[in-house]
Amino acid sequence: MTIMLPDPIAAYVAADNAGDDAALAACFAADAVVRDEGRTIRGVDAILVWKAEAKRKYQYAVEPVAVAETEGGAVLTGRVSGRFPGSPVELRYLFGLRDGRIATLEIHG
């Protein structure tokens, strides 16, 4: 079954899984904010550093399982598999979208 994701989220998942920094950077607004694992990451440059650290640490891939559009964004449920205890796990990605880009992202277990 194919999950139809909003364009910015589809681009994010594809870039994240491919490890494509340029494509990943293009997904985010310049002032984007990400919250993950108790951290708050601000701005595209910091987001790229955070993503590189996570990829190196967990060597993961995300498979979209479900998506629900919300006012101003969407909630993605993704099956994340990689090198970490309990893999695979399902995580919830709360996206706030603005002008076709990701303005906010919160990741919850």
**Could you please report the per-residue DSSP string of 74-92?**
EEEEEEEESSSTT-SEEEE
- CATH code at 34? 3.10.450.50
Residue 1: pLDDT above 70?
Answer: no
In a domain, 2, yes or no: no
pLDDT above 90 as % of the chain: 97
Residue 20 belongs to domain spanning? 7-108
Number of domains the chain contains: 1
Domain assignment present for 1: no
Residue pointed to by tokens 């904010």: 33
Q: Flag whether 61 is in a domain.
A: yes
Q: Which helix (H) or strand (E) holds 17?
A: helix 7-18
pTM of the predicted model as reported, rounded to 2 decimal places: 0.95
Judged against a pLDDT cut of 90, whether residue 2 lies above it is answered with no
Residue 66 placed within a domain: yes
